[in-house]
Structure 1
């Protein structure tokens, strides 16, 4: 009898000790502002691809037929910086993944990522391939075997091109999830996430110098510091700010500016480092304000819907949208055409969310939960 009485008491005391040892946790409401920022980032990327990228600013390009900077110079000047929306996505991903995984098992983490990523992605592959079949000319269609491999989301690891070029970011996301699952499996704590940020950051710094391909692949130096910034911001949100977290965030900002510069030099070519750093710095300051509770009173329900459009919009806008512009340019004002195409894809994204993502997520979750339950009892 005494054992039965003492055990709950011991468990209660153990919980109290853990709470006292952990940094102070602040309970906060849903962060609606992040949903809004996600949509803004997606729109930045879309406008960049339609009216601000190096590709559409070339003479006789397949989208506008002449440099877009000649067609709408003011729009091009601003759209040239829209690519930073991708880095914004990475920071938000680090923040949201850490938040959604806290107190959850690796199985929960795996299931949540599958049902979140794959339904809209599968639709995006089918939709984009259909557009390329119906309207060839702007983009080349992949071989069927490569299209099929794309359904795994692992094509980048196999050296196979993506159906849509924007899918390259998913490869960075997947590597982040794989690394972070190790921490999730051990149980997330303030200390473990801080150590993970430091170890991953060190690996990301050393990998390019070491010229060790496997380390570079795992460390993901081109994206690591943006995810790390998001993780540090979430720790600020959950436990409050401290000098260590500010140090990690400052390091992420310093290393991130280098990655922004490299991307401009190697890929974008149309924007300047200073302007890019202003946008990225302002975004990080906004995220700090969100993390510390400055936007807690923002509770507009429509922002949840806005955030739900982000992923489908990102997946379907590029190849299909530039193909549509390539067919319609010259028929209307170019600014109106860009706005119309983005508006149309926002409507389609909402339909994908309601008619594809939600139903497919329910089916996948039931199936995966049943599969893991069977796996758990397979040895019985």
Structure 2
């Protein structure tokens, strides 16, 4: 199996999305936080820009659609599920326990101790329980996508099945909203699915080349994203300027189109893989570290220096989590979870000799009926 070159520009974009969320929480958020006053009041100079940092999540979801389809291609549902577990859980468990420690020390968060165990499962969103950290809501949305992707992997991932899957997901979400069907709305997450579908279509453009049909998926997803982006700007994020939100969403789609068509390949540098590795733990731990850090250094330090200390410490903590927890934890989990799949596999049979006239005669097609061009090498570096 030939490994493809790692798309390091995605590492850069993932880190930029995480940094946008960090700056939103630390300098652009209008509610209560780690600062004595709302962070947008502490930093009025940059808050008009950083208040839109929440849209980093939108970029995360497009990247997720791209990368998860790339990761799942050629895998069964079991292997795909294991790849997600080992990627998500070690750093997530550290984050939950860190949050519990912070809440215990600062005697805040009434009822939080009873939330620790459910939060360790990452299923608290479906159980109707609060998150130990507010940022976990995005993981619950991601989990919906992973379940649907596992179903697709169980069916068999081919060019054809992806087209059917994306159309069914997009139209099913629209129909669920039209019918106000709560069960389908929960399963299909129609307010966010457009980003994952766009990412999947863009990966297929990257893998197989552009076609009018694939561009149609991207265009439809973009229009739906504009609709929900405007709705969230008005109803969730305090009347944010819909024109700015639309412009940022347009920029997100534009930059991901550049990735899919290879026009950002010149940005690939080896150091970007480190940024990609920092992204997930940084997203998980930054808001939990802010409270004890700011309590210790602010207002003894001026606000800008205190901000630099919080961001710098968050980056160092993210790197420590990656090196000391994620890497060894993922290796330990992967070996044992893969071993647990062995009883599911049929025993290996001796190869049947091929008679001369039939030798290699069916080598051009996959067993599922798809053409062999549907099976390109999996880029394991992105799993």
* Fold conserved between structures, TM > 0.5: yes
Match of 2:216 among 232, 247, 252: 247
- Displacement, 1:141? 4.7
Residue 96 (str. 1) matches residue 67 (str. 2): yes
Matched, 1:227 2:196: yes
Q: Does 1:276 align with 2:220?
A: no
Question: How many Å separate the matches in 2 of 1:302 and 1:270?
Answer: 38
Q: CA deviation at 1:168?
A: 0.4
**1:51 counterpart = 2:23:** no
RMSD: 1.8
1:113 alignment counterpart: 84
Q: 2:234 aligns with which of 258, 262, 265?
A: 265
The structural deviation recorded for 1:154 is 0.4
Asked if 1:33 is matched to 2:4, the reply is no
In 2: Cα distance, 1:168 partner to 1:133 partner? 22
Q: Any unmatched runs of 5+ in structure 2?
A: 348-383
The separation in 2 between residues aligned to 1:350 and 1:62, in whole angstroms, is 24
1:246 and 1:28 map into 2 onto residues whose CA distance is 24
Query: What's the CA shift string for 1:199-230, capped at 9, x where partnerless?
Result: 10111112122121111111101210011110
Question: How do residues 145-156 of structure 1 correspond to structure 2 at under 5 angstroms?
Answer: 145-156=114-125
**Retained in 2: the 8 A contact 1:52–1:80?**
yes
SS in 2 for 1:271: coil
Question: CA 1:376–1:151 in 2, change beyond 3 Å: closer, same or farther?
Answer: same
| 1:153 CA displacement | 0.4
Give distance in 2, aligned partners of 1:208 and 1:236: 29
One of 84, 87, 97 as aligned partner of 2:55: 84
Partner of 2:102: 131
Structure 1 residues 328 and 136: alpha-carbon distance in aligned structure 2, compared to 1, 3 A threshold: farther
Gaps of 5+ in 1: 1-26, 56-60
Instruction: Report the CA distance shift for 1:322/1:248 in structure 2 as closer, same or farther (over 3 A).
Output: farther
CA separation in 2, counterparts of 1:217 and 1:187? 24
Aligned in 2, Cα 1:142/1:314: closer, same or farther, shift over 3 Å?
farther
**How high is the TM-score relative to the length of structure 2?**
0.86
Q: TM-score by structure 1 length?
A: 0.86
List per-residue Cα deviations over 1:350-375 (Å, max 9, x = no partner).
11001001111111111111111134
How far apart, CA to CA, are the structure 1 residues paired with 2:295 and 2:229? 29
Distance 2:101 2:277 in 1: 24
Question: Is the counterpart of residue 355 in structure 1 residue 324 in structure 2?
Answer: yes
CA offsets per residue over residues 14-68 of structure 1, 9 Å max, x none?
Answer: xxxxxxxxxxxxx96221000000001000001101111121xxxxx46333344
Matched, 1:75 2:46: yes
> Please, which moves more after superposition, 293-302 or 83-92?
293-302
Note if contact 2:100-2:112 (Cα within 8 Å) is conserved in structure 1. Answer: no
- In the alignment, the residues of structure 1 paired with residue 236 and residue 275 of structure 2 have an alpha-carbon distance, to the nearest angstrom, of 29
Q: How does 1:206-221 map to 2 (within 5 A)?
A: 206-221=175-190
